[in-house]
Amino acid sequence: MAFDSYSKMFTEEQLISISALQHWVFCPRQCGLIHLEQAWAENRLTAEGRLLHDRVHESDTENRPGVRIVRGLRLVSYSLGLVGQADVVEFHRSDCGVELPGASGLWQPFPVEYKRGKPKKDNSDNIQLCAQALCLEEMLHTEIPSGAFFYGKPRRRNEVQLDASLREITCRAITAVHDLFEGRHTPSVRYAKKCDNCSLYSQCLPKTTGLNKKIDVYLSKAYELPGPEETP
Ligand code: SF4
Protein backbone atom coordinates (compact mmCIF):
# COMPACT_ATOMS: atom_id res chain seq x y z
CA MET A 1 0.00 0.00 0.00
CA ALA A 2 1.41 3.38 -0.89
CA PHE A 3 -0.15 6.20 1.00
CA ASP A 4 0.13 9.85 0.31
CA SER A 5 0.72 11.77 3.54
CA TYR A 6 -2.20 13.85 4.68
CA SER A 7 -4.47 12.47 1.91
CA LYS A 8 -6.36 9.91 4.01
CA MET A 9 -7.32 9.28 7.58
CA PHE A 10 -6.47 6.02 9.32
CA THR A 11 -8.78 4.26 11.74
CA GLU A 12 -7.80 3.32 15.31
CA GLU A 13 -7.24 -0.27 14.18
CA GLN A 14 -4.81 0.83 11.46
CA LEU A 15 -2.56 2.94 13.69
CA ILE A 16 1.02 1.70 13.93
CA SER A 17 3.27 2.24 16.90
CA ILE A 18 6.06 4.79 16.51
CA SER A 19 8.39 2.20 18.02
CA ALA A 20 7.72 -0.03 14.99
CA LEU A 21 9.52 2.53 12.83
CA GLN A 22 12.70 2.08 14.84
CA HIS A 23 12.38 -1.69 14.69
CA TRP A 24 11.88 -1.50 10.92
CA VAL A 25 14.93 0.72 10.39
CA PHE A 26 17.03 -1.68 12.50
CA CYS A 27 15.71 -4.77 10.70
CA PRO A 28 12.39 -5.23 8.83
CA ARG A 29 12.32 -8.86 10.00
CA GLN A 30 12.62 -7.75 13.63
CA CYS A 31 9.71 -5.37 13.04
CA GLY A 32 7.61 -8.23 11.63
CA LEU A 33 8.54 -10.62 14.45
CA ILE A 34 7.65 -8.09 17.16
CA HIS A 35 4.55 -6.49 15.69
CA LEU A 36 3.06 -9.26 13.53
CA GLU A 37 4.12 -12.36 15.44
CA GLN A 38 4.22 -10.77 18.93
CA ALA A 39 7.70 -12.14 19.61
CA TRP A 40 9.57 -10.10 22.18
CA ALA A 41 12.68 -10.90 24.13
CA GLU A 42 14.28 -8.51 26.53
CA ASN A 43 18.05 -8.36 26.59
CA ARG A 44 20.28 -6.19 28.77
CA LEU A 45 20.10 -3.28 26.32
CA THR A 46 16.30 -3.23 26.07
CA ALA A 47 15.90 -3.74 29.86
CA GLU A 48 18.13 -0.76 30.65
CA GLY A 49 16.29 1.33 28.07
CA ARG A 50 12.91 0.41 29.57
CA LEU A 51 14.03 1.33 33.10
CA LEU A 52 15.29 4.70 31.86
CA HIS A 53 11.95 5.43 30.18
CA ASP A 54 10.05 4.38 33.31
CA ARG A 55 12.11 6.88 35.33
CA VAL A 56 11.54 9.65 32.77
CA HIS A 57 7.76 9.10 32.96
CA GLU A 58 7.65 9.12 36.78
CA SER A 59 6.33 12.68 37.06
CA ASP A 60 3.85 14.19 34.62
CA THR A 61 4.43 17.93 34.49
CA GLU A 62 6.96 20.44 35.73
CA ASN A 63 7.27 24.22 35.44
CA ARG A 64 10.56 26.07 35.17
CA PRO A 65 11.12 29.72 34.28
CA GLY A 66 10.17 30.02 30.60
CA VAL A 67 9.66 26.26 30.17
CA ARG A 68 6.76 23.91 30.89
CA ILE A 69 7.57 20.21 30.78
CA VAL A 70 5.08 17.41 30.08
CA ARG A 71 6.16 13.78 30.48
CA GLY A 72 4.64 10.66 28.93
CA LEU A 73 2.37 12.57 26.54
CA ARG A 74 0.29 10.26 24.33
CA LEU A 75 0.76 10.97 20.63
CA VAL A 76 -1.44 10.23 17.64
CA SER A 77 -1.64 11.14 13.97
CA TYR A 78 -4.68 9.94 12.05
CA SER A 79 -3.31 11.30 8.77
CA LEU A 80 -0.10 9.26 9.08
CA GLY A 81 -1.60 6.36 11.04
CA LEU A 82 0.75 6.65 14.02
CA VAL A 83 0.39 6.27 17.77
CA GLY A 84 2.98 6.50 20.55
CA GLN A 85 4.18 8.31 23.61
CA ALA A 86 6.73 11.10 24.02
CA ASP A 87 9.26 10.84 26.83
CA VAL A 88 9.23 14.61 27.32
CA VAL A 89 7.68 17.54 25.50
CA GLU A 90 9.07 20.89 26.57
CA PHE A 91 7.05 24.04 25.84
CA HIS A 92 9.36 27.05 25.57
CA ARG A 93 7.94 30.54 25.93
CA SER A 94 8.22 32.04 22.46
CA ASP A 95 6.68 34.44 19.98
CA CYS A 96 5.17 31.48 18.09
CA GLY A 97 3.72 28.12 19.05
CA VAL A 98 0.59 27.21 21.00
CA GLU A 99 -1.42 28.54 23.91
CA LEU A 100 -1.27 26.55 27.14
CA PRO A 101 -4.02 26.36 29.75
CA GLY A 102 -3.34 28.66 32.70
CA ALA A 103 -0.39 30.37 30.99
CA SER A 104 -0.23 33.59 29.02
CA GLY A 105 1.51 33.99 25.66
CA LEU A 106 2.69 31.37 23.18
CA TRP A 107 4.82 28.28 23.80
CA GLN A 108 6.94 26.40 21.26
CA PRO A 109 6.71 22.58 21.62
CA PHE A 110 10.07 20.79 21.68
CA PRO A 111 10.12 16.96 21.96
CA VAL A 112 12.98 15.36 23.90
CA GLU A 113 13.74 11.61 23.85
CA TYR A 114 15.90 9.91 26.46
CA LYS A 115 18.33 7.25 25.28
CA ARG A 116 20.36 4.92 27.44
CA GLY A 117 23.41 4.68 25.19
CA LYS A 118 25.18 6.80 22.64
CA PRO A 119 23.88 8.14 19.32
CA LYS A 120 23.18 5.34 16.83
CA LYS A 121 24.86 5.08 13.46
CA ASP A 122 21.58 4.55 11.63
CA ASN A 123 18.73 7.04 11.38
CA SER A 124 16.31 5.19 13.65
CA ASP A 125 16.45 7.59 16.60
CA ASN A 126 16.01 10.64 14.38
CA ILE A 127 13.08 8.98 12.60
CA GLN A 128 11.42 8.25 15.96
CA LEU A 129 11.83 11.88 17.06
CA CYS A 130 10.57 13.19 13.73
CA ALA A 131 7.52 10.88 13.88
CA GLN A 132 6.75 12.24 17.36
CA ALA A 133 7.02 15.81 16.06
CA LEU A 134 4.71 15.00 13.12
CA CYS A 135 2.11 13.70 15.59
CA LEU A 136 2.49 16.79 17.79
CA GLU A 137 2.15 19.09 14.79
CA GLU A 138 -1.13 17.42 13.84
CA MET A 139 -2.42 17.38 17.43
CA LEU A 140 -1.45 20.98 18.23
CA HIS A 141 -1.82 22.55 14.77
CA THR A 142 1.64 24.06 14.85
CA GLU A 143 5.09 23.59 13.37
CA ILE A 144 7.96 21.98 15.25
CA PRO A 145 11.32 22.75 13.63
CA SER A 146 13.53 20.88 16.11
CA GLY A 147 13.74 18.45 18.99
CA ALA A 148 16.50 16.79 20.99
CA PHE A 149 17.88 13.59 22.46
CA PHE A 150 19.36 13.21 25.87
CA TYR A 151 21.94 10.43 25.62
CA GLY A 152 23.36 8.56 28.59
CA LYS A 153 26.83 8.05 27.09
CA PRO A 154 28.15 10.69 27.10
CA ARG A 155 25.50 12.44 29.19
CA ARG A 156 24.56 15.24 26.90
CA ARG A 157 21.75 16.75 24.93
CA ASN A 158 21.86 16.65 21.10
CA GLU A 159 19.55 18.96 19.18
CA VAL A 160 18.09 17.63 15.90
CA GLN A 161 16.73 19.79 13.08
CA LEU A 162 13.52 18.26 11.74
CA ASP A 163 14.22 19.33 8.18
CA ALA A 164 12.53 18.35 4.91
CA SER A 165 14.96 15.51 4.26
CA LEU A 166 14.36 13.85 7.66
CA ARG A 167 10.60 14.30 7.26
CA GLU A 168 10.78 12.61 3.84
CA ILE A 169 12.79 9.66 5.21
CA THR A 170 10.38 9.35 8.13
CA CYS A 171 7.32 9.33 5.85
CA ARG A 172 8.95 6.64 3.71
CA ALA A 173 9.54 4.50 6.81
CA ILE A 174 5.92 5.02 7.89
CA THR A 175 4.71 3.89 4.45
CA ALA A 176 6.97 0.81 4.56
CA VAL A 177 5.67 -0.24 7.99
CA HIS A 178 2.04 0.25 6.95
CA ASP A 179 2.79 -1.92 3.90
CA LEU A 180 4.43 -4.57 6.08
CA PHE A 181 1.49 -4.67 8.50
CA GLU A 182 -1.06 -4.73 5.70
CA GLY A 183 0.74 -7.59 3.94
CA ARG A 184 1.10 -9.45 7.29
CA HIS A 185 4.23 -11.18 6.04
CA THR A 186 7.38 -11.19 8.19
CA PRO A 187 10.41 -10.57 5.95
CA SER A 188 12.84 -13.46 5.57
CA VAL A 189 16.08 -13.66 7.50
CA ARG A 190 19.38 -12.20 6.39
CA TYR A 191 22.25 -12.51 8.83
CA ALA A 192 24.26 -9.33 9.44
CA LYS A 193 26.62 -8.15 12.16
CA LYS A 194 23.77 -6.26 13.87
CA CYS A 195 22.08 -9.64 14.56
CA ASP A 196 24.59 -10.21 17.38
CA ASN A 197 22.98 -7.32 19.33
CA CYS A 198 19.41 -8.20 18.43
CA SER A 199 17.02 -8.95 21.29
CA LEU A 200 15.28 -11.53 19.07
CA TYR A 201 18.39 -13.46 18.11
CA SER A 202 17.29 -16.68 19.83
CA GLN A 203 13.82 -16.58 18.23
CA CYS A 204 15.10 -15.59 14.81
CA LEU A 205 18.20 -17.82 14.67
CA PRO A 206 19.55 -15.87 11.70
CA LYS A 207 22.53 -18.13 11.05
CA THR A 208 20.55 -21.35 11.28
CA THR A 209 17.58 -20.06 9.35
CA GLY A 210 19.85 -18.46 6.79
CA LEU A 211 21.66 -21.79 6.42
CA ASN A 212 18.36 -23.62 5.94
CA LYS A 213 17.47 -21.12 3.30
CA LYS A 214 20.68 -21.99 1.45
CA ILE A 215 19.90 -25.69 1.86
CA ASP A 216 16.44 -25.03 0.40
CA VAL A 217 18.05 -23.43 -2.63
CA TYR A 218 20.54 -26.30 -2.90
CA LEU A 219 17.80 -28.94 -2.65
CA SER A 220 15.53 -27.21 -5.12
CA LYS A 221 18.44 -27.00 -7.56
CA ALA A 222 19.35 -30.65 -6.95
CA TYR A 223 15.79 -31.81 -7.68
CA GLU A 224 15.22 -29.40 -10.56
CA LEU A 225 13.84 -31.18 -13.59
CA PRO A 226 15.94 -30.71 -16.74
CA GLY A 227 14.53 -28.37 -19.39
CA PRO A 228 13.37 -29.76 -22.82
CA GLU A 229 16.67 -28.92 -24.52
CA GLU A 230 18.55 -30.83 -21.80
CA THR A 231 16.36 -33.94 -22.05
CA PRO A 232 18.61 -36.89 -22.92
S1 SF4 B 1 18.53 -11.66 14.47
FE2 SF4 B 1 19.11 -10.38 12.70
S3 SF4 B 1 17.69 -10.96 11.03
FE4 SF4 B 1 16.85 -11.72 12.97
S5 SF4 B 1 15.46 -10.11 13.62
FE6 SF4 B 1 17.40 -9.73 14.63
S7 SF4 B 1 18.52 -8.32 13.31
FE8 SF4 B 1 16.82 -9.18 12.11
Q: For residues 215 and 218, what is the distance between their CA atoms, to the nearest angstrom? A: 5
pLDDT digits (tens, 9 = 90+) for 69-116: 999 999 999 999 999 999 999 999 999 999 998 889 999 999 999 988
Both 51 and 103 in one domain: the answer is: yes
Same domain, 101 and 129: yes
Q: Closest Cα partner for 5 from 178, 180, 145, 143?
A: 178
Neighbours of 77 (CB within 10 A): 24
Whether 71 and 60 have beta carbons less than 8 Å apart is answered as yes
Lowest mean pLDDT among 10-19, 50-59, 112-121, 195-204: 50-59
Same domain, 32 and 109: yes
Cα–ligand 1 centroid distance for 186 (angstroms): 11
Please determine, for residue 223, whether its predicted confidence score (pLDDT) is greater than 60. Answer: no
Contact 206, 187 (CB under 8 A): no
Q: For residue 190, give the ligand 1 atom closest to its CA.
A: 3
Q: How much distance in Å is there from the Cα of 209 to the middle of ligand 1? A: 11
Best substitution site from 198, 207, 209, 211 to test ligand 1's pocket, by max atoms within 8 Å of Cβ? Answer: 198
If asked whether residues 63 and 149 sit together in one domain, one would say yes
* 137 and 68 inside one domain: yes
> Taking residues 46-71, what's their average pLDDT?
74
Is the peptide bond prior to 154 cis by the omega test (within 30 degrees of 0)?
A: yes
Please give the distance, rounded to the nearest whole angstrom, from the Cα atom of residue 199 to the centre of ligand 1. Answer: 8
Lowest model confidence (mean pLDDT) among 18-27, 59-68, 180-189, 190-199:
59-68
In the chain, pLDDT over 90 holds for what percent of residues? Answer: 58
Residue 1: inside a domain, yes or no? no
Locate the ligand 1 atom nearest the alpha carbon of residue 204 and give its number.
4
Query: Over the chain, what is the mean pLDDT?
Result: 84
Q: Are residues 84 and 57 in the same domain?
A: yes
Length of the chain measured in residues: 232
What does 64-77 look like in DSSP terms, one character per residue? Answer: ETTEEEEEEEEEEE
157 half-sphere exposure, CB direction, 13 A CA radius = 9
Structural domain contains residue 7: no
Domain span holding position 18:
12-187
pLDDT band at 221; cut points 50, 70, 90: low
Cβ burial 91-122 (10 Å sphere, 16+ → b, else e) = bebeeebeeeeeeeebbbbbbbbbbbeeeeee
Number of domains within the chain: 2
The model's pTM is 0.81
For 191-203, the pLDDT digits (tens) are 999 999 898 998 8
